[in-house]
Amino acid sequence: MDLTTSYLNLTLRNPLVASAGPIAGTVAGVRRLADSGVAAVVLPSLFEEQIAAEEERDVRLGEAGSDSFAEALSYLPALDDHAGLRQYLSLVERAAAAVDVPVIASLNGASPGGWTTHAAALASAGAAAIELNIYYLPGDALASGREVEQRHLDILAAVRSAVTIPVAAKLGPYFSSAGEIAVRLDQAGADGLVLFNRFMQAGIDPEALTVSSRIQLSSPFEAGLPRSWIARLRGQVRASLAASTGVEDAADVAAYLLAGADVVMTTSSLLRHGPGHAEVLLDGLTGWLQRKGFTAVSQARGLLAASAAGSAPGYGRAGYLQAIQDATSAYGP
Amino acid sequence: MTRVTVDGNEAAVSAAYRLNEACCIYPITPSSPMAELADSWSAQGRPNVWGSVPAVIEMQSEGGAAGALHGALQGGALATTFTASQGLLLMIPNMYKIAGELTPAVFHVASRSLATQGLSIFGDHSDVMATRPAGFALLASATVQEAHDLAAVAQAATLTSRVPFVHFFDGFRTSHELNTIELLSDDDLRALVPEDLIRAHRARALSPEHPFIRGTAQNPDTYFQARETVNSFYSAVPAAVAAAMDMLAGRTGRPYGLVSYAGHPEADRVIVAMGSGSQTAAQTARFLAGHGDRVGVLRVRLYRPFPAGQFLAALPPTAARIAVLDRTKEPGSLGEPLFMDVLAVLAEAHAAGSLTAMPLVTGGRYGLSSKEFTPGMAAGVFAELARDKPRPRFTVGITDDITGTSLPYDSLLDIEPASTVRAVFFGLGSDGTVGANKNTIKILGADAGRHAQGYFVYDSRKSGSQTVSHLRFGPDPIEAPYLVAQASFVGVHQERLIERTEVLGRAAPGATVLLNTARPAEHVWDWLPREAQEQILHKQLVLFAVDATAVARDAGLGGRINTVLQTCFFAIAGVLPQDEAIAAIKDSIARTYARRGADVVARNHAAVDAALAGLHRVEVPGRVTATRGVPAAVPDSAPDFVRTVTAAMLAGHGDDLPVSALPADGTYPSGTTRYEKRNISDEVASWDPDLCIQCGNCSFVCPHSVIRSKFYDAAALAGAPDGFASAPLTARGLPESKYTLQVYVEDCTGCGLCVEACPVSAPGDPRRHAINLTAREPLLAVQRDSIAFFEALAVNDRPRVDFGTVRGAQFLQPLFEFSGACAGCGETPYLKLLSQLFGDRLMVANATGCSSIYGGNLPTTPWTTDAAGRGPAWSNSLFEDNAEFGLGFRITADLHLRLARGRLAELADRVGPDLVAEILSAPQRTESEFAAQRGRVATLMGRLDQLDAADPVVADLRSVLDHLVRRSVWLVGGDGWAYDIGAGGLDHVLASGRDVNVLVLDTEVYSNTGGQASKATPLGAVAKFAAAGKKVPKKDLALQAIAYGNVYVARVAMGADPQQTLRAMREAEAYDGPSLVIAYSHCIAHGIEKDGVTLRNGMDQQYRAVASGYWPLMRYDPVLRAAGENPFLLDSPRPRIPLAAYTGQELRYRILARTDPAEAERLAGLAQHEVRQRWATYEEMAARGPERFPAGAGGSS
């Protein structure tokens, strides 16, 4: 079975990619992922402000109690400068050297200059591509939709001009017209679009009376939204399309591919079942392709995209009406 | 030529590191920074001048370091070590060997006092003098530059002569003084130490290719002659040193000399001295000679072998009277060593006819334990020599009102050139004053035309400590190794410090004073205490005020006031033109804070501008307007000794105390911290009686014993002051009882451990607990009254308190309180608990370390007494011997108990056989049993009073009667003691079977000396001396002790399971045999914080350590084995969080991920594996049958 896939102009051995997550936080984790068969690994995001905050905290801790007591003018060895960034770059460098699949760095900048300087550093550390994690927290009630969009475009343009390696944009679904921003990012030079980022939405513990910031692992019912947009965008954009969210088994992978995804990304299922689950997904995908009589994954890709013959009604008003009818007959009186 | 501003330690190790192949190290103040630098340079791969990276190895003690060094030398390496004080003493046996075998090596010593009537970390020559007979050459450096240059000279001379060297300089005064020096280049060092000498050293090494035997045992027939074979080598040393000095002078233009003379060429009065004091004396002699006095100073650099010829040649023939100054004391001797040497040289020369007239020679002591030695004191010595009959032996710098040795002197003599700018700064350790001043020195010292000097004085507290920075700047090298006494600028970085008389006392007439205060400039004058106003008027001081706290806060710098105050100094001190100064400080900020981002730089730059805008001159009226004076350091109600002696030390007048004021044998009263209300935290704990469930958790974890609880009859509330808080006692069966949890707000450090430990929160406000931190100031008046009322309430009867629960333990009076430990210390809660449980019959042998410093560093001591006057009897012997020391307590207690029982039996008929039988057979495990026994002993005492006091049996019994109440002997110390330097002794004491209890306060590093690695340091953590990450797991001390079978062993972590801690401590104490309790102690050296407050999450980290399986809670109880049960009890559940969830919270682990991520990952993987593997071992042990553990359990005391 030919699973060969092209993503961000990179040739991948199959369409399964490990999205940014904690497993890839160590070289050993990256190696386990690659050994399990994934075709590329996205490293956990480099958060610029987090690195700055950690730097500030560690400097503060390193100085705690210093120059106060004659026997102990400090309590820890002196810290090096810029160690936080170097630590991430080291992960990129070592991960890229440790595995023979592409290692994609994920970047979340905070300052105007932060996106470009960090992107350049990631590229020189050996990242095969950069995924821009344009994580935009809901909360600023006064930011206009256009401002939010422009911010995405500005960041992409800045990074695009700073590096020569492929650049993908990972975005959230909450735009008035998610399709339009995807197209505009494509026109602005994105080599790939990753759909979608899942926003951390604060939880509330009524017993402890606390706000929790836990990220829930995604589940398959959440896959509908990105899948629909991928189906819509297939053929409309030059950029590669990556599906992210809600992959649990091979059927979910197949559905994304049929909708038109170039690659399918997962972290949640790998966290739930361990990195070895990639092998289960790939075996399942191969089995499904065989059952359906395909000899290459490319034959299935986009088969049920909106642009494909006969599929469009399912994604449009007709599909909506059909869904309401089905629901009425299932749940109605 | 490289010009740098460094301290003496860095100056010395810069040369030593580059000239050696191996460094065998161990931490000891004040030499530790040399070893730390060597370790970090080695970890960075920095090579020596011959291209190889020196190996640095930390040993378990200085004795171990010397042994390893000896071996490395025998193997042919160039090897060195860095040490001081007791550390050097531990090396002496090896020094004899190294010297006896003519092995070239240099020990670099930051010389320090020895522990005698008290320990002192400060500088004098006692340690070096104790090594005189060992056969090492002794070379003294007097300045930071010399410490650098003579380190190289010593290395050259040792290789030339084959005689090993101690190269020493004054601890703190030189080792910690920042000064501008010129570094020797690698080429200079290579020229000084030719490689053929190194090859010759290697050729003498042990090798199986050309084997020989070295280290034989010799007999009366030859030992003596063999000992004399080395004489010619020693004779050659002075020439070797002189040759190296000459070569150095040729390359650098810095001439030295084995001895050197300064002053009037025809001096009739001469001082002979060594070390930094000789520089002060020499400068004074030059000054006085300039004024026509015929005085001079002979400075000795090479002290052993004593260069008699050079000494006589350098001494002006006109010298008729000579005072020899020694920075050491040899009680009972005819005189101190340098004096005796000089006397011998002169007498011999005179007898031989080469010295025509024998001068009058006197000997004096000065500068012990870094006591100041000033130009005034040197002038005082010259003045003494001018008297008709100078004192033959004297001291200078103190008032000896008992034996009258001390000389008078003029404390105001000022010999410094007008071109030197002098400044002093008073701040707190936590406010960054010292750091900012070090930065200032680097900025100003970097200019080619300027020299800079900095010296920093700290108090001995680890929390709320005060700092004094002494800075000098000038166009010429700064040669003034003494504190600034006449400053043209005085910075007072904390408002309340101006109440210390020393602060304005150091201001020269007309000086500028900068006060950081929240008060508007127009209100500052009236607020000042009378004493401050008087000094300002008298000296015509110019006063400026700035609200640095507000400026820093508004600029977004939080509490970091140092940038603001540093700017004000630059603006008004006149060292540089203001524009130039501000540009320099901004440039420095940009470089210092670059790594923290542009935003941080911008905020600091904004603070610089705002500081200038916020700086105001205070108008000084022509008269004193103050309505208040400086408050007394201690209350009038304090005991006499505290009011006279302790209070003087607290007020900064300890130097003025005469000899007669101090105890002769190092014995000081207990419980003096209570008189010192330090008020170091603006935020303190505050109790909410309505929310409180009276669980006792807050009181249990409080490191400072500031949270106390009592329950009492409601009627006792009569007369309670307004604001005294109470609540109904929640215990069953006591409906009429009330409960009060009292916070000692003036002693609270605001660490927040109590808040974190509180299990309840307010309805509707989850962040509010039953104990919270609130502003101290508004609480003070009410709480002072409340505390007084609370103290008057009866302490709860010990037999009525449930010792078995945390809830009950809160009612036990702590007999360890208000120590100067770090705010949030992880050790002190265990000590407080120890004092609560067993305090009235407790003897503590305390190993040197943090616990001996916050436990016994003057001025005040936290170990205290109960209402009956009983309390812990505490002593510190040394670092290495603590287990043995404590065992000695036990031996004596057992002996005297046996004696008491024997005498009691002899007197049975006379005092009552029933009483005697009861006393002899009384069980003593529970509090009610102790109370009963105390009652019987009191009865016995009463009956003894009826007998003939002169009867030797009666007198004998009286002298040991106390022992009839069982004593609780505890050996307390840190992991540096238990795992490393004291491990052999601890092992032996545990094996003795005697009834001693060992409490290991395991911080996993040498905390007191600044966080060096011990064998308790965990795998993957970074510490000093393990800068590249610890590569091997922590030693499992518990398993080692369990191997004996009859040792009670527990591993506890109060933050994870306080109940288990309590249980283990009580079981350990009750067990009639050796017990070992290993207590997880979070520490400032771990790098932890919550909400920006260091250590606040200490107890949570304890919880995580246990939850991850890193620190399994366990007990091994030989009593269970004896009863046929499995003695190994695993008290914590299986690991339920990954190790990283614990380690990731601590900077000590994160550092490695920052510096070497790959290695950090590797070690983290190994550490997680080690945790799993150890857990499996423990689980298996917990499931074994009892027969698989050693039998024969039980103590043998």
Tens digit of each residue's pLDDT (9 = 90 or more) over B170-216: 999 999 999 999 999 999 999 999 999 999 999 999 999 999 999 99
pLDDT higher than threshold 80 for residue A214: no
Here the tokens at position A227 are: 């899948």
- Alpha-carbon gap: B1155 to the closest alpha carbon of chain A (Å): 6
Inter-chain residue contact B1147 with A76, CB threshold 8 Å:
yes
**What is the number of CB-based contacts under 8 A between chain A and chain B?**
141
Report yes or no: A126 at the B interface, CB cutoff 8 Å. Answer: no
DSSP assignment letter at B453: E
Nearest CA in chain B to A60: B1092
- Residue A148 pLDDT class (50, 70, 90 cuts): confident
B29 is catalytic: yes
How far, in Å, CA of A83 to CA of B595, rounded? 9
Nearest CA in chain A to B459: A69
Select from B764, B1009, B1151 the Cβ nearest to the Cβ of A76: B1151
What is the reported pLDDT for A47?
A: 86
How far, in Å, CA of B951 to CA of B1042, rounded? 48
Start-end of CATH 3.40.920.10 domains in chain B:
422-617
Mean pLDDT computed over B327-332:
98
Torsion angle (degrees, nearest 10) of CA A56, A57, A61, A62? -40
Superfamily of domain A5-302: Aldolase class I (3.20.20.70)
B3 is catalytic: no
- Alpha-carbon gap: B523 to the closest alpha carbon of chain A (Å): 31
- Alpha-carbon gap: B1021 to the closest alpha carbon of chain A (Å): 11
- Alpha-carbon gap: A53 to the closest alpha carbon of chain B (Å): 8
Secondary-structure class of domain B422-617 per CATH:
alpha beta
Q: Comparing A214-218, B382-386, B1077-1081, which segment has the lowest mean pLDDT?
A: A214-218
Inter-chain residue contact A76 with B1161, CB threshold 8 Å:
no
Inter-chain residue contact A79 with B1085, CB threshold 8 Å:
no
Here the tokens at position B1091 are: 């909400």
Catalytic residue among B62, B146, B676, B1146: B62
DSSP assignment letter at A2: B
- Alpha-carbon gap: B761 to the closest alpha carbon of chain A (Å): 9
Inter-chain residue contact A67 with B456, CB threshold 8 Å:
yes
pLDDT per residue over B559-591, tens digit each? 789 899 999 999 998 888 888 889 989 998 888
- CATH 3.30.70.20 given to domain B677-812: yes
Interface test with B, best of A56, A61, A68 (most B CBs within 10 A): A68
Instruction: Tell me the helix, strand and coil percentages in chain A, rounded to 5.
Output: 45, 15, 35
List B24's β-bridge partners, or say none.
B57
- Nearest-10 crossing angle of helices A112-124, A48-63: 90
Interface test with B, best of A46, A69, A74, A85 (most B CBs within 10 A): A69
pLDDT per residue over A50-75, tens digit each? 888 888 899 889 999 999 999 999 99
Select from B458, B1011, B1022 the Cβ nearest to the Cβ of A70: B458
Here the tokens at position B274 are: 């060594």
Pick the CATH number of B2-210+224-250 from 3.30.70.141, 2.40.110.10, 3.40.50.970, 3.40.50.1000: 3.40.50.970
Chain B residues whose beta carbon lies within 8 Å of the beta carbon of residue A27: 1158, 1161
Contacts of B278 (CB under 8 A, 6+ apart): B142, B297, B299, B300
- Alpha-carbon gap: B115 to the closest alpha carbon of chain A (Å): 15
pLDDT per residue over B418-459, tens digit each? 999 999 999 999 889 999 999 999 888 888 889 999 999 999
Torsion angle (degrees, nearest 10) of CA B983, B989, B991, B992? 170
Nearest CA in chain A to B1145: A58
Nearest CA in chain A to B40: A77
Inter-chain residue contact A90 with B1158, CB threshold 8 Å:
yes
Chain B residues whose beta carbon lies within 8 Å of the beta carbon of residue A49: none
How far, in Å, CA of B571 to CA of B590, rounded? 18
- Residue B27 pLDDT class (50, 70, 90 cuts): very high
Inter-chain residue contact A57 with B458, CB threshold 8 Å:
no
What is the reported pLDDT for B658?
A: 98
Inter-chain residue contact A208 with B600, CB threshold 8 Å:
no
Select from A27, A63, A75 the Cβ nearest to the Cβ of B1011: A75
Q: Comparing B509-518, B587-596, B1044-1053, which segment has the lowest mean pLDDT?
A: B587-596
All structural domains of chain A with their residue ranges: 5-302
pLDDT higher than threshold 70 for residue B1193: no
Contacts of B1180 (CB under 8 A, 6+ apart): none
B112 is catalytic: yes
CATH topology of domain B1004-1134+1142-1188: Rossmann fold (3.40.50)
Chain B residues whose beta carbon lies within 8 Å of the beta carbon of residue A63: 435
C-alpha R_g of chain A: 22
pLDDT per residue over B389-398, tens digit each? 999 999 999 9
DSSP characters over B387-419:
SSS--SEEEESS--TTT--BPP--TT-----TT
Q: What angle do CA A285, A288, A289 make, to 5 degrees?
A: 85
Catalytic residue among B740, B1008, B1061, B1097: B1008
CB of B334 closer than 8 Å to CB of B326: no
What is the reported pLDDT for A136?
A: 63
- Alpha-carbon gap: B1087 to the closest alpha carbon of chain A (Å): 5
How far, in Å, CA of B401 to CA of B241, rounded? 43
Nearest CA in chain A to B1154: A83
Inter-chain residue contact B766 with A74, CB threshold 8 Å:
no
Interface test with B, best of A23, A58, A71 (most B CBs within 10 A): A71
CB of A209 closer than 8 Å to CB of B766: yes
What percent of chain A has pLDDT above 90? 63
Interface test with B, best of A73, A82, A88, A214 (most B CBs within 10 A): A73
pLDDT higher than threshold 90 for residue A315: no
Inter-chain residue contact B1089 with A72, CB threshold 8 Å:
no
- Residue A210 pLDDT class (50, 70, 90 cuts): confident
Select from B434, B460, B761 the Cβ nearest to the Cβ of A67: B434
What is the reported pLDDT for B1192?
A: 63
Inter-chain residue contact B596 with A65, CB threshold 8 Å:
no
What percent of chain B has pLDDT above 90? 92
DSSP assignment letter at B204: T
Query: Within 10 A of B679 (CB to CB), how many other CB atoms are there?
Result: 16
Report yes or no: A222 at the B interface, CB cutoff 8 Å. Answer: no
C-alpha distances in angstroms, B808 versus B396, B730, B799, B813, B863? 56, 12, 11, 11, 22
- Alpha-carbon gap: A54 to the closest alpha carbon of chain B (Å): 10
How far, in Å, CA of B1020 to CA of B1031, rounded? 6
pLDDT per residue over B448-488, tens digit each? 889 999 999 999 899 999 999 999 999 999 999 999 999 99
List A103's β-bridge partners, or say none.
A41
CB of A134 closer than 8 Å to CB of A169: yes
- CATH 3.10.20.30 given to domain B258-396: no
Select from B429, B595, B1147 the Cβ nearest to the Cβ of A82: B595
Here the tokens at position B1137 are: 């969080």
- The alpha-helical segments, DSSP class H, found in B54-137 are 62-74, 85-100, 126-129
pLDDT per residue over B1060-1110, tens digit each? 999 999 999 999 999 999 999 999 999 999 999 999 999 999 999 999 999
Question: Can the peptide bond before residue B803 be classed as cis, meaning omega within 30 degrees of 0?
Answer: no
Report yes or no: A69 at the B interface, CB cutoff 8 Å. Answer: yes
Here the tokens at position B753 are: 């451990």
Q: List b or e across B767-785, with b for residues whose CB sees 16 or more CB atoms inside 10 angstroms.
A: ebbbbbbeebeebeeebee
List B474's β-bridge partners, or say none.
B451
DSSP H or E stretch at residue A148: helix A145-162
Start-end of CATH 3.40.50.970 domains in chain B:
2-210+224-250, 1004-1134+1142-1188
Query: Within 10 A of B173 (CB to CB), how many other CB atoms are there?
Result: 31
Chain B residues whose beta carbon lies within 8 Å of the beta carbon of residue A208: 766
What is the reported pLDDT for B541?
A: 97
pLDDT per residue over A236-269, tens digit each? 999 999 999 999 999 999 999 999 999 999 999 9
What is the reported pLDDT for B355?
A: 96
CATH topology of domain B636-669: Pyruvate-ferredoxin Oxidoreductase; domain 4 (4.10.780)
pLDDT higher than threshold 60 for residue B1196: no
What rounded mean pLDDT belongs to chain A? 89
Inter-chain residue contact B172 with A52, CB threshold 8 Å:
no
CB of A1 closer than 8 Å to CB of A64: no
Here the contacts of B383-388 (C-beta below 8 Å, separation 24 or greater) are B383/B407, B383/B408, B383/B409, B384/B323, B385/B269, B385/B321, B385/B322, B385/B323, B386/B269, B386/B321
pLDDT higher than threshold 80 for residue B664: yes
pLDDT per residue over B1102-1148, tens digit each? 999 999 999 999 999 999 999 999 999 999 999 999 999 999 999 99
Nearest CA in chain A to B822: A65
Nearest CA in chain B to A95: B1158
DSSP H or E stretch at residue B837: helix B828-838
Interface test with A, best of B86, B1139, B1154, B1159 (most A CBs within 10 A): B1154
DSSP assignment letter at B130: T
- Residue B329 pLDDT class (50, 70, 90 cuts): very high
What rounded mean pLDDT belongs to chain B? 96
Inter-chain residue contact B766 with A71, CB threshold 8 Å:
no
pLDDT higher than threshold 90 for residue B859: yes
Inter-chain residue contact A74 with B1010, CB threshold 8 Å:
yes
Inter-chain residue contact A65 with B1094, CB threshold 8 Å:
yes
pLDDT per residue over B137-163, tens digit each? 999 999 999 999 999 999 999 999 999
Nearest CA in chain B to A82: B595
Write down the ipTM of this complex. Answer: 0.94
pLDDT higher than threshold 50 for residue B751: yes
Torsion angle (degrees, nearest 10) of CA B16, B20, B26, B30? 0
What is the reported pLDDT for B499?
A: 86
Chain B residues whose beta carbon lies within 8 Å of the beta carbon of residue A210: 766
pLDDT higher than threshold 90 for residue A80: no
Inter-chain residue contact B1023 with A77, CB threshold 8 Å:
yes
What is the reported pLDDT for B1195?
A: 47
